[in-house]
Amino acid sequence: MYRAVMVLVVSCTFSGLLFAANAFYLDEVDFFNEDTPTNAERASNIEIANRQWAEPVVMPDGKVSYYTPPGAVLAFLEEPTESNAKSYLQWLNERWVKINKAQQVLRELIKKQHVNIIRAEQ
C-alpha cells in the first residue's frame, strides 16, 4: 500500500513539473539569459543538418554545432571524379606538409630546451 501511494505521489509530482514547462505556452525557459538563435540561424542549422556528410557535435556549452568535412574532401565524396581526386590529394599533401613543418619546429624547440635544462642542472 505504501509503495502504491509513493508511486502515485511521485508520478503526480513529475506530471505537474512536465505541465509547468508549457503551462503558459512557452517553448523553453532561459535561465542564463543566453542568446537564442534567430529563425535564420535555425534554418541554417537545419539546412546543414540535412546534408549527408554533416555530423552533429555537442559543444561544451550544450549548443549543437555541425561539422562538415573540408571543401576538397566534400567535393570528392559528393562527386568522385579524377579532378576532384587530384584536388583532394593536393589538399591532403598541403596539410601533411604543414603538419610536418610544425613538428620540425617543435623538435628544434625541444632540443633547445633540453640543452637549457641540462645546463641549468650542472
Question: In this predicted model, what pLDDT tens digit does every residue of 4-30 receive, in sequence order?
Answer: 556 555 565 555 555 555 555 556 666
Would you state the cell numbers that stand for residue 44, as one nine-digit string?
541554417
Residue 31 pLDDT grade (very low, low, confident, very high; cuts 50, 70, 90): low
101 or 42, greater pLDDT = 101
pLDDT at 101: 97
pLDDT surpasses 90 at 105: yes
Instruction: Say how many C-beta atoms besides its own lie within 10 A of residue 67's C-beta.
Output: 10
pLDDT score for 12: 55
DSSP states along 72-108: HHHHHHHS--HHHHHHHHHHHHHHHHHHHHHHHHHHH
**Percent with pLDDT over 90 in the chain:** 24
CA atoms within 13 Å, Cβ hemisphere of 39: 0
